[in-house]
């Protein structure tokens, strides 16, 4: 019977998915996001449920979660999205000539496009007795139910395989009161993720909890009793270990039977190209059943990457390619912290950084090649796992932080609220997102209960990091810690926002390469998914265009945040603050008088000295802004850009003019720097300072660009940050003259302007690209001069006082459009 | 007393010309009932909302408009211009006003 016989020709294309698991359904979700109306979708799954989070079967077994907790897509979800779900029925054959999938119950489902997402199967050792009752794998809900059932009736369990899955099974069974022995073929545990040192530490702590190990040992036979149930495991040396339950966790085998029988090219897995297409262009495959560039993956993160690329093609966009993934692993055994990523064994041409504290149970090893991390093993203290993994995926040059690397991100010189590495140790009630008052416990339970995988999911459900975004790193850490190896988004791969699949870097490159010169042009060329973007991508695009086409691009006011639109900081009551520029922190009686006059005239409700050496007038009504600016302009005062992703302040100390220790004219140099750079729009705010001697009264070493004067010249420091996460600057270079200071400052700013991502301050930017990278470019005299030239060119257009422009032309934007009172 | 009188006498009032509000921008109309934000949305239509975010009263007219939504300038709640309701996980609703455009003039029902 043809179930879709009634579907008229020319209607929507029929997309059929075999396998209702994590990868297949993820691909469907991604397609729905891109083009919900394109396909009539049918999902066929042989398990009798909706789609669930297989990863969390381990905590379910250990009693830390319930089956209900781990459901990702309920049958209602399929119905709501118009997807036909055929559950509890296996697909038995793919009939390629007739383009239909045949089912175990005799039905068949026709397709125009087919996705095979059949996952993998536990590898069952080919030994006698492997079909006895009580011998199972660890793969699905049914297996967990069998194990929980056995735990209620029996005492002894043997787990064959000391890998991730085996140990999680053994731990779960032990938690259910069973006496568990792990039989492992190799010398050390989890040899595919851990080196011998970490493997042995892991073994010792599991033994402490009561787990038994027999290893290295080869299973040769499973012995049964008269009822046909397993009673013992027999090893090569003749030993017999009693067992009422045997869990085979000796590996997984991609489930390729259907594909193979249909004549599709398979090796270990179903062979696909970079678009996840099999050798039949109508048939795609995704997930653990796939072999891509010779690799079969067994973790969720790479499968989700595959699903995104596949959806990109099936939804007709078709520009993404899947080029393979680097993976990381965590063991989900509560109380044991272990992390592994990449090439953790190393070899020729690699070196190792190792820290071992046997008594404290801490081991960290980083494998380095060409000054880049290529692998990591952490045991006992894994808080920096995500950081190392990020450095690894970003290919960050670590030569500058080498000596501090093993001590972790917290030792890079930051302190304060943002020590995000410590997030794992925070109590549940610790507030993570200050803007929306979301605490750690709320986020963690939302991740677990709602099955969240991405930052966007967490933002949507909890609001955490959805406002100012400064806690993004903390939320990502929480995702990583809660989901283990499953979460691996790296900023270099993250799309700009929900409106596009392109990353910041890709968008910037496209703007230059395709000479895109307006926001609508960018959105058209890059096929934005929303009609006019959102409050996250529009300001970023506006900046990228402004930076790429100085003098040419016309600023889009509708894409500016209110502060930059109104050239003042909006306050909680809807009034604004006004901060005039005070060059290098120096003022005059005339300026102060003018400020005092406007403060009275426009009823400033407070006058305050800012942390940036200037004066802030608070509580100004929007309608009064142009007037107060006009008055200030008359006294020679211009906008301080205290509201902008732009050059903010240049803090100075008194320097050689007055101070008995001053070595150079720090105040004068600060003023020159500010005159050079004011008005420049940047990816984020930018602060400078000049101190007259190493006593550093202007706090130059926590600024984006800081100058410390010394007898012989000027030390230039970059990448400091005094905000949420304090970071001390790195020394960029030392120069001898003020002219050189100005040139280096301009060149540095231009490099930052051209390369950092929107809302990325210099501190995280430098940590991402590495100081050496910045140093190399700026030390190259020609490159430095070119950058400086480009900076000076763009300043020609940027150095107009916005206050003057707006107050002169009577901008209607500041007034109500009608007053009916 | 005044309130009932106000509702009884609802009528269309001209408040602006179409060109007063560029696409994806908004302006404020001051009324006896408080400030109203008048938005030129991504679909080309105009919408009017009480200029108070359901969160903490932020002036919605100062937010970034995209499609038929506005992101509040204070804490980034996203409000649906058609219904006045907060979207996503946030809950709350701002009062909406009827708008019509005739011969290039925008009218509010007040
Ligand atoms: C006015 C001022 C506080 C004061 O009374 O002194 C201030 C006020 C605000 N700061 Fe600040 N910051 C002020 C100096 C600082 C400093 C100190 C400094 O510059 O020496 C810092 C730490 C140094 C640094 O930035 O590295 C600082 C770190 C921040 C941060 C955290 C930035 C970070 O990278 O972590 C934010 C949040 C943000 O930008 O996203 C912020 C944001 C803000 C905002 C804009 C919050 C907002 O979005 O509304 C505040 C606006 C208040 C208002 O309505 O005017 N402010 N802020 C200071 C203005 C200085 C000026 O003259 O322009
Ligand atoms: C206990 C456990 C713990 C894990 N822990 C982690 C972890 O911490 N981190 C991590 O990243 N990964 C972990 N994994 C691995 C992760 O779950 C898998 O990588 C992921 O589920 C694979 O997705 P998939 O869609 O390819 O396969 P699956 O999720 O297995 O989905 C395939 C589906 O297809 C169905 N199917 C197969 N053949 C047919 C057919 N002929 N007809 C109809 N339906 C069929 C199967 O029944 C199954 O439902 C764990 C796995 C297990 C079992
Ligand atoms: S001025 Fe700065 S530190 Fe003070 S409350 Fe505002 S953002 Fe926070
Ligand atoms: S007042 Fe609008 S989001 Fe807070």
Instruction: Kindly give, in sequence order, each residue whose CB lies less than 8 Å from that of residue A131, ignoring residues fewer than 6 positions away.
Output: none
Among B10, B76, B99, the strongest candidate for a mutation testing the A interface, having the largest count of A CBs within 10 A, is: B76
Which residue's CA is the nearest one to ligand 1's atom 34?
A723
Distances (CA, A) of A339 to A53, A124, A206: 21, 27, 16
User: Half-sphere exposure of residue A434, counting CA atoms within 13 Å on the CB side?
Assistant: 7
Q: Residue A818 and residue B15: Cβ atoms within 8 Å?
A: yes
Q: How many CB atoms lie within 10 A of CB A122?
A: 20
* Pairing relationship of beta strands B69-71 and B64-66 according to DSSP bridges: antiparallel
Q: Which chain A positions have a beta carbon within 8 Å of B21's beta carbon? A: 817
Question: How remote is the CA of residue A252 from the centroid of ligand 1, in Å?
Answer: 53
Contact B21 A817 (CB under 8 A): yes
Ligand 1 in contact with A674 (CB < 6 A)?
no
- Report the pocket of ligand 4 as residue ranges, CB < 6 Å: B 53, 55-58, 72, 74-77
Q: How much distance in Å is there from the Cα of A155 to the middle of ligand 4?
A: 58
Structure tokens at A642: 């205290």
The answer to whether the beta carbons of residues A70 and A60 sit under 8 Å apart is yes
Model confidence, pTM: 0.73
Distances (CA, A) of A553 to A263, A511, A757: 55, 12, 19
Contact A570 B62 (CB under 8 A): yes
For residue A706, the cross-strand partners are A689, A717
| 3-state SS assignment for residue A301 | helix
- Residue B52: closest CA among chain A residues belongs to which residue? A574
What is the structure's pLDDT at A415?
40
Work out how many CB contacts closer than 8 A connect A with B.
97
Distance CA B110, CA B108 (A): 6
Say yes or no for a CB contact (<8 Å) between B62 and A812: no
Provide the pLDDT for residue A386.
Answer: 78
pLDDT at A2: 43
The DSSP output letter for A503 is B
Using a CB-CB cut-off of 8 Å, the residues of chain B touching A817 are 15-16, 20-21, 27-29, 38
The residue in chain B having the minimum alpha-carbon distance to the alpha carbon of residue A818 is B29
pLDDT band, very low/low/confident/very high, at B7 (cuts 50, 70, 90): low
pLDDT at A470: 63
Ranges of residues in chain A with a pLDDT under 50 are 1-9, 414-421, 488-491
CA A180 – CA A169 distance, rounded (Å): 10
Q: What residues have CB less than 8 Å from A80, skipping those under 6 apart? A: none
Residues from chain A contacting residue B12 (CB–CB below 8 Å): none
CA distance A188 to A201: 10
DSSP state of A184: -
Chain B hits for A562, CB-CB cut-off 8 Å, are 62-63, 73
User: To the nearest 10°, the Cα dihedral for A35, A36, A40, A46?
Assistant: 110
Measured on CA atoms in the order A165, A168, A172, A177, is the torsion positive or negative? positive
The Cβ of residue A530 has, within 10 Å, a number of other Cβ atoms equal to: 16
Ligand nearest A562 Cα, by number? 1
Task: Give the model confidence (pLDDT) of A360-412 as tens digits.
Answer: 889 999 999 999 999 999 998 887 887 888 888 888 899 888 888 898 876 66
> What DSSP assignment string belongs to A64-129?
SS-TGGGEEE-HHHHHHTT-EEEES--EEEEETTTTEEEETTS-EEE-SEEEE---EEEPPP--TT
In tens, the pLDDT along B31-84 reads 988 999 999 999 999 999 999 999 999 999 999 999 999 999 998 899 999 999
Q: Say what the pLDDT of residue A418 is.
A: 41
The CA distance from A74 to A670, in Å, is 62
Check residue A461 and give its pLDDT. Answer: 79
C-alpha span between A96 and A105 (Å, rounded):
19
Question: How far is Cα of residue A465 from the mean position of the Cα atoms in its chain?
Answer: 13
Whether A394 contacts A369, CB under 8 Å = no
User: What does the pLDDT read at residue A3?
Assistant: 44
Full DSSP string of chain B:
-HHHHHHHT--EEEEEEGGGS-TT-EEEEEETTEEEEEEE-TTS-EEEEESS-TTT---GGGSEEETTEEE-TTT--EEETTT-BB-TT---B--EE-EEEETTEEEEE-
β-sheet bridge partners, residue A213: A182
CA-nearest residue of chain A to B51?
A574
Write down the pLDDT at residue A492: 53
């Amino acid at each position: 019977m043809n179930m879709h016989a009634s579907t008229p020709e020319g209607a929507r294309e029929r997309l059929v998915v075999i396998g209702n698991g994590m990868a297949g359904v993820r691909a469907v979700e991604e397609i729905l996001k891109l083009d919900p109306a394109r396909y009539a979708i049918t999902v066929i799954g042989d398990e009798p449920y909706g789609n669930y989070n297989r990863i969390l079967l381990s905590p379910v077994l250990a009693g830390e979660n319930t089956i209900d907790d781990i459901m990702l897509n309920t049958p209602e979800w399929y119905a709501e999205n118009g997807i036909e779900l055929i559950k509890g029925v296996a697909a038995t054959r793919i009939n390629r000539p007739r383009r239909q999938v045949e089912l175990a119950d005799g039905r068949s489902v026709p397709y125009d496009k087919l996705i095979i997402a059949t996952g993998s199967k536990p590898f069952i050792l080919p030994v006698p007795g492997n079909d006895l009752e009580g011998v199972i794998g660890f793969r699905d809900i049914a297996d967990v139910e069998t194990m929980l059932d056995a735990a209620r009736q029996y005492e002894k369990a043997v787990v064959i395989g000391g890998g991730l899955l085996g140990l999680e099974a053994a731990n779960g069974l032990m938690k259910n009161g069973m006496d568990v022995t792990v039989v492992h073929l190799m010398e050390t545990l989890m040899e595919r993720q851990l080196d011998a040192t970490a493997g042995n530490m892991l073994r010792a702590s599991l033994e402490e909890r009561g787990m038994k190990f027999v290893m290295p040992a080869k299973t040769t036979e499973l012995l049964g009793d008269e009822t046909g149930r397993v009673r013992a495991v027999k090893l090569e040396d003749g030993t017999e270990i009693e067992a009422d339950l045997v869990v085979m966790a000796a590996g997984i085998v991609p489930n390729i039977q259907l594909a193979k029988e249909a004549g599709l090219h398979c090796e270990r897995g179903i062979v696909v190209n970079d678009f996840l297409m099999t050798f039949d262009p109508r048939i795609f495959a995704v997930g653990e059943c796939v072999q891509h560039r010779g690799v079969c993956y067994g973790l969720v993160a790479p499968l989700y990457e595959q699903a995104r690329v596949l959806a990109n093609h099936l939804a007709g966009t078709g520009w993404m390619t899947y080029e393979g993934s680097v993976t990381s692993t965590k063991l989900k055994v509560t109380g044991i912290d272990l992390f592994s990523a990449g090439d953790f064994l190393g070899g020729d041409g690699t070196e190792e950084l190792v820290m071992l504290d046997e008594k404290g149970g801490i081991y960290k090893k980083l494998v380095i090649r060409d000054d880049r991390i290529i692998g990591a093993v952490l045991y006992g203290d894994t808080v920096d796992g995500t950081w190392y993994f990020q450095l690894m995926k970003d290919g960050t040059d670590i030569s500058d932080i080498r000596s501090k690397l093993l001590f972790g991100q917290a030792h890079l010189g930051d302190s304060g609220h943002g020590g995000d590495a410590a997030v794992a140790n925070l109590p549940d009630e610790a507030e993570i997102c200050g803007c929306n008052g979301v605490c750690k416990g709320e986020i963690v339970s939302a991740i677990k209960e709602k099955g969240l995988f991405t930052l966007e999911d967490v933002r949507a459900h909890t609001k955490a990091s959805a406002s100012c975004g400064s806690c993004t790193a903390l939320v990502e850490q929480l995702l990583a810690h809660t989901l283990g190896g499953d979460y691996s988004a790296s900023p270099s791969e993250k799309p700009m926002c929900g409106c596009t699949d392109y990353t910041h870097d890709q968008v910037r490159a496209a703007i230059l390469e395709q000479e895109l010169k307006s926001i609508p042009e960018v959105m058209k060329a890059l096929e934005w998914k929303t009609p006019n973007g959102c409050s996250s991508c529009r300001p970023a695009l506006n900046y990228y265009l402004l930076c790429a086409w100085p003098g040419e691009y016309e600023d889009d006011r509708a894409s500016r945040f209110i502060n930059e639109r109104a050239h003042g900081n909006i306050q909680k009551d809807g009034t604004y603050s006004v901060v005039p520029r005070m060059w290098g922190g120096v003022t005059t009686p005339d300026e102060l008088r003018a400020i005092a006059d406007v403060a009275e005239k426009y009823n400033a409700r407070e006058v305050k000295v800012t942390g940036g050496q200037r004066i802030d007038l608070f509580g100004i009504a929007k309608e009064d802004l142009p007037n107060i600016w006009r008055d200030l302009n008359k006294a020679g005062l211009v906008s301080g850009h205290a509201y902008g992703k732009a050059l903010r302040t240049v803090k100075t100390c008194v320097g050689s003019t007055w101070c008995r220790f001053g070595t150079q004219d720090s105040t004068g140099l600060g003023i020159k720097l500010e005159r050079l750079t004011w008005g420049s729009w940047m990816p984020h705010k930018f602060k400078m300072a000049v101190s007259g001697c190493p006593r550093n009264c202007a706090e130059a070493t926590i600024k984006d660009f800081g100058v410390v004067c010394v007898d012989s010249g000027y030390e230039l420091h970059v990448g400091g940050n005094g905000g949420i996460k304090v970071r001390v600057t790195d020394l960029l270079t030392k120069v001898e003259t003020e002219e050189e200071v100005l040139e280096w400052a301009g060149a540095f700013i231009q490099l930052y302007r051209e390369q950092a991502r929107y809302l990325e301050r210099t501190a995280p930017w430098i940590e991402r690209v590495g100081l050496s990278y910045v140093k190399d470019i700026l030390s190259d005299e020609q490159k430095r001069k070119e950058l400086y030239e480009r900076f000076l060119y763009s300043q020609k257009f940027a150095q107009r006082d916005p206050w003057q422009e707006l107050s002169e032309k009577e901008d209607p934007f500041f007034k109500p459009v009608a007053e009916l009172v | 007393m005044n309130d009932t009188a106000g509702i009884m006498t609802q009528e269309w009032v001209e408040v602006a010309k179409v060109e007063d509000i560029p696409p994806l921008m908004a302006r404020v109309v001051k009324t006896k009932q408080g400030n109203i934000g008048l938005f030129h949305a991504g679909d080309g239509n105009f919408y009017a909302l009480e200029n108070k975010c359901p969160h903490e009263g932020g002036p919605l007219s100062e937010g970034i408009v995209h499609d038929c939504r506005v992101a509040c300038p204070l804490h980034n709640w996203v409000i649906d211009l058609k219904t006045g309701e907060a979207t996503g996980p946030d809950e709350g609703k701002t009062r909406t006003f009827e708008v019509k455009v005739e011969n290039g003039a925008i009218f509010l029902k007040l």
